[in-house]
Amino acid sequence: MSMENQQTTITKLIDDETYFIAAGDTINWAKCWLQTEEAQFTFTSARGMWQYTGWDSIKANFRNPEPFKLNLKRDNYHYTIGDKVAFVSFDQYDNWGGTEGQKKKESRTLRKVDDQWKIVNVNVIDYSSYDNLKERAQAQSVSYHGPIENLPVDKRTSFRNKGGLGGMSAAFMEVPAGTDFAPFLEGLPQDMCPAPHWGYLLEGAIQLKYADGRVETINKGEIFYWPAPHTGKVLKDAKFIEFSPEEEYQQVMTHISNKMAQQKKK
């Protein structure tokens, strides 16, 4: 096979893998990967670095993905192709998870198995997350205070929240007894909320469950810290104030609002 044909084959595999996972097609997505302990996925942004090593870890963290319409553009490809191993880097522009305007530097390492290329390593650097850090820092230096009822209402969820508070988002929640957060979190890593929260429970009771299986109940009048990842159920009609890292909070709210919209269609 000519070098040009090799590049075309590899590019198609990389594109297929991306579109499959965006569509929630985990069966065909998995076929693009070398499903061994060699497999690795690394994501880096201004919020930190996440790395999953081994196919089982990668598969678990992409379980039940939320499908969305992907707008994808790639350019500036650079290929290094050998008999059994290949490496390609490129620039990517997308709306991953529904957030427009994302810009990334990405690379793939591939291994040829039974004459078929398979992805063995994915590396993603979301450099757009570093944009305007100076402006954000200046905005975060502005103080704020105000009554709960003046917090803006997110029309997608009916929750009240305000961002731009030193990198944090403040929210006021009123959630009825019997509400199970788990269905709204399906599709996120481990099907749990990936954002930590700090707050105060004004009324009611909420049961939290963490990834290690630990369960605890927060009662009226208690302050709380919920590390990520977690899920929960409302045991008694609850009203609470919570503070969360703004970027993670907005991503979770976008995910939850999409779930709410899906339920309304049923």
In this prediction, residue 212 carries a pLDDT of 93
Per-residue tokens: 163? 């961002």
Question: pTM (2 decimals)?
Answer: 0.62
DSSP per position, 43-80: EEETTEEEEEESHHHHHHHTSS--------EEEEEEEE
Which domains does the chain carry?
3-131 (3.10.450.50), 143-264 (2.60.120.10)
Q: Quickly count: other Cβ atoms within 10 Å of residue 188's Cβ.
A: 24
**Phi and psi (nearest 5°) for 256?**
-65, -40
Could you say which DSSP state residue 97 is in?
A: G
Q: How, if at all, do strands 160-165 and 223-226 pair?
A: unpaired
Handedness of CA 168, 172, 178, 179 (dihedral sign): negative
CA distance linking residue 209 with residue 204, whole number of Å? 17
What would the two tokens of residue 174 be? 């009123």
In terms of C-beta density within 10 A (0-12 exposed, 13-18 middle, 19 or more buried), how is residue 93 classed?
A: middle
pLDDT tens digit at each of 266 positions of the chain:
789 999 999 999 999 999 999 999 999 999 999 999 999 999 998 767 888 999 998 988 787 787 889 999 999 999 999 999 999 999 999 998 777 889 999 999 999 999 999 999 999 999 988 775 655 666 566 788 889 888 888 877 888 998 888 888 999 999 999 999 999 998 888 889 999 999 999 999 999 999 999 999 999 999 999 999 999 999 999 999 999 998 888 888 888 888 887 777 66
Q: What is the pLDDT of residue 139?
A: 59
